[in-house]
Structure formats: C-alpha cells, structure tokens
Structure 1
Amino acid sequence: MSQEQENRTLNQQETVEGIRWNESGLLPAVVQDAGTLEVLMFAYMNPESLRLSLESGQTWFWSRSRSELWHKGGTSGNTQAITSIHYDCDSDTLLVKVVPEGPACHTGETSCFFREIPLNTSAAAPVAKAAETEPSANLADSGRFAVLGELERVIAEREAERPEGAYTTYLFDKGVDKILKKVGEEASETIIAAKNKDNAELRLEVSDLIYHLLVLLQERKLPLDEILEELSARHERPRRD
C-alpha cells in the first residue's frame, strides 16, 4: 500500500469513528445524482456497509426489513458509482453523491421520490421560475457536470485554507512538480486499467486523474470554465472532412 493510500485509509477510519450512529447502529443516507443533483433514494448504512461502499466505490446499505447488507444494483445491475460522501454538522446523516447506472427505484423510476403531493398555494411558483431563468454561475455547475464545479470549488477552498491533514493541502504544499508527478502517475494507471479491460478499475483511475488535473488547473489559476469553453469552441468549428 502506498503512503497516499495509507493516509486515505487513516482519514476514512477517523471519519467513521467520529460518526454518530443511532441506537440501532445505523445512519440515514440520502443518495443524490452527482450530475443532476436529483435526490434518488433514502436508505440506511451501518459501519460495515459504509466500509464496503468506501472500498468498492459503489453503494452498500443495511436492510432493516431483511436484517442484512445489500449492494445496490447487485441483482438488477442498477449500481451507483460513488463520487463523494458527505456527513452533516451533527455527524448523524450521510449525503452520498453517485453516478447511477440505472433507475434507483425498484419500480423502474429514476428516483424513489416520484410521487408528488399537490400544493394548495402558489408560493413556490416564483422560486421555480427563478430556477428556470437564472443562468448558472459557470459552465461546470450545470447539469451532469455539476460535480466538477463542486470539486473545483472545494480544491480552491483547500488551497486557500490549507486544512491540516488534507491530501489536497499536501499537494499544494509540495508544489507543481509533485502535482505534475501525480498527474503522470494517474494517467499511466488509467492506461493500464484500460489495457486490462477492467472498467471498475478504469472508473477509479479516471476519477483520480480528473481530480489531479483539477488540482493542476487550480495551481496554474486556469479556470475549468476556460477548458469547457475551448472544448465548446472546437465542437462548433466547421469540420474539415
């Protein structure tokens, strides 16, 4: 195990130990689509299911009705690849952001929250209108790329505040040469995973590569928006073939 992996494991253990499990040893987990930010489902985790989720990169939960662990999508194939896990200020609820492979609900609906209670007031209408008309703060914050905008924001925050023990702080403290080295390592590991035709490993390595590229962009003060604008401009140019 590399030093980086050891540090990551230690941080995970410290976090899990600080979580406030309820009297049944469980924790509510809200699952949200990392791209659309739609709430997909609500379930419970225990320490073992959280450990499995962290190790596998996919969601595992504890079934209260069956009193057993269950891997979301293990039977149906509708798995959820985890992009981040947050816990609230009271350390008693998890927010799990995922990239879903299929519908979250057993009914086949995208979200378990597909049934709406009609409101008897129009108070919500102005809010809905504002949400439809206001432009996004930047390109990375819209739609399926929202997780990139959030990650870019967190990385910038880490660079400014340099919280002790954070891996991102370590990278900025070491400087651009260390960051470039990590980009090269992750690119090589991405190539190896692709050559091995291991999509589970490829997903993890590409995620690591994107993260380190965002750290590099922050170090160089090159906004992700400019990358997206460049890609958009290339797409709009007339094809020569």
Structure 2
Amino acid sequence: MNFDISTLRFDKNGLIPAVVQDEKTGEVLTLAYMNEEAIAKTLETKETWFFSRSRNELWHKGESSGNTQRVVRLQQDCDADALLLQVVPDGPACHTGNRSCFSETITEDAASNRTVLHELVQKIKERKENPVEDSYTTYLFREGIDKILKKVGEESAEVIIGAKNNNKKEITWEISDLIYHTLVLMELVEVDITDLKVELFKRHLQKQGEQNA
C-alpha cells in the first residue's frame, strides 16, 4: 500500500480527520483522527491506527477489544485534508458494542434501505446456524438443496411471466422473491456476495481490456 504522507494537509495539532467505511456495505463506521505516525502504522500493518485526542496517544483499533479493521483502501479528499479508509471490520466499530458509531438517528425523511441486502444475507446465515421452528428460511434449509433449487426455478419462471406481462409491480415482486431464494442457495453452497462482486469486477476489467485493445 503506497502512500505519500507528505501530500496531506494536517491541522495545527498535526491531525487529519479519517472516515472509516465498511468496504462491503458502504456503511460509515466511525470518524476518527490520525497523525503521521498513525497513518504510517496503518500502512505498515494494514489495520487501522488512530490518534486519541482525549488520551493524547496513539491507539490501535481492536488492540484490547479484538475488533480490528483490515484496511482495503485508503484515499484522500480533493483538498488533501481528510481521509477515507475502507475496511473489513472484525466486530463492532463502536465502543458501545454497536456496529457503527453512527447508530443514533436525529432526523430522516425515510428509512435507509442501502444495507438491506447485506442484512438479509446475515439473517439467512443466522437461520441456517440457529434454526427457528416457524421460519420459512429454516424450512428451506431443512428440506435441502432440491427444495431450494425447485424454488429458484419457480421464481425464475415467475420473473419471466412478470416481464411478459409488462407489469413493473409484479416483476419487482417476483425478482425480489428470486433474489431471496438465490441468497438462500448461495448460503447453502457457501457462495458470498463478495464472491459475486469479485467475479463481476473481473469481467468488467476484462471487458474494458477488450475495448481498449
């Protein structure tokens, strides 16, 4: 991870704000501050290090709690006076035990649905690991792969019918059913959303290469 610290603009206390974001979901986990040493440590270990303004000392995220953050990407803003760290978190980001430090909503026009897909994946995983008697997801896992494949096939056909009917509401409903059952299948065969992102990204790069050839 190559990065020229000298290009950054620190404040009068030698600090720069750093936004930490979940690389997978895009969720903002915390806002912290870094000095030159914290950035150097982060680059060296590929885990987040910050400078505590209240304790006036350097600290390694997860050193005592075990909730470390593996850094995937480090970026600076256009003015070079703020950082964005995209990470893979191993546990909650907040000292309260919450996943994000931004868990208290002051006001909103509508509930956010940005992370719903990842939340659904987590719920499916929980149903597999901890079955609930009246849960439909638990029922699918109990019945096994043949039942799940049958449902994927049925929902695929329903999507086709919805598209032929040219009914947006119907096709939206049916695609949602197909995605849900596909996610259950993915959990059963141990395919993660990240695996899909990696594969699609590889295809995207390959397509770009072909266009530039």
Query: TM-score, normalized by length of structure 1?
Result: 0.49
Match of 1:219 in 2: 209
Contact 1:87 1:93 in 2 (8 A): yes
The answer on whether the counterparts of 1:35 and 1:145 sit within 8 Å (CA) in structure 2 is no
Q: CA deviation at 1:216?
A: 6.2
CA contact (8 A) 1:21 1:92 kept: yes
Question: CA, structure 1 residues 217+128, in 2 after alignment: closer, same or farther (shift >3 Å)?
Answer: same
Taking the aligned partners of 1:42 and 1:145, their CA distance within structure 2 comes to 29
SS in 2 for 1:32: strand
Residue 116 in structure 1 maps to residue 108 in structure 2? no
Distance in 1 (alpha carbons) for counterparts of 2:205 and 2:114: 33
Consecutive unaligned residues of structure 1, counting only runs of 5 or more, are 1-7, 136-142, 153-209, 222-241
Give the Cα–Cα distance (whole angstroms) in 2 for the partners of residues 130 and 147 of structure 1: 16
CA pair 53-111 structure 1, distance change in 2 beyond 3 A: same
Q: Which residue of structure 2 lines up, in the alignment, with residue 90 of structure 1? A: 79
Aligned with 1:74 (options 56, 63, 66): 63
Q: 1:103 aligns with which of 75, 92, 105?
A: 92
C-alpha offsets along residues 87-107 of structure 1, whole Å, 9 cap, x if unaligned? Answer: 111110101000000000111
> 1:116: Cα distance to partner?
1.1
Q: Residue 37 of structure 1 aligns to a residue in which SS? A: coil
SS at match of 1:28: strand
Q: Secondary structure at the match of 2:84?
A: strand
Choose the corresponding residue for 1:62, options 28, 51, 55. 51
1:59-208 equivalences under 5 Å are 59-117=48-106, 119=107, 124-125=109-110, 148=198, 152=201
1:40 aligns with 2:3: no
Hey, which of these two has a bigger chunk of helix by percent?
Answer: 1
CA distance in 2, matches of 1:130, 1:30: 18
- Look at both structures and tell me which one has the larger radius of gyration over its CA atoms: 2
CA distance in 1 between partners of 2:71 and 2:23 (Å): 9
> Per-residue displacement from partner, 1:24-55 (whole Å, max 9, x unpaired)?
00000010000111110110000010010011
Aligned to 2:6, the other structure's residue is in SS state helix
Distance in 2 (alpha carbons) for counterparts of 1:80 and 1:131: 19
Percent identity between matched residues is 44
Instruction: Figure out how many residues of one structure are paired with residues of the other and give that number.
Output: 139
**Cα distance in 2, alignment partners of residues 46 and 146 from structure 1:** 36
Deviation at 1:219, TM superposition (A): 3.5
* Whole-Å separation in 2 of the counterparts to 1:22 and 1:69: 17
Query: Contact between 1:34 and 1:147, CA under 8 Å: does it hold in 2?
Result: no
Once the two structures are superposed, residues 5-38 of structure 1 have per-residue CA deviations (whole angstroms, 9 ceiling, x without a partner) of: xxx64xx23xx11100011000000100001111
1-side partners of 2:113 and 2:96: how far apart? Answer: 30
Runs of 4+, deviation exceeding 4 Å: 127-135, 143-149, 213-218
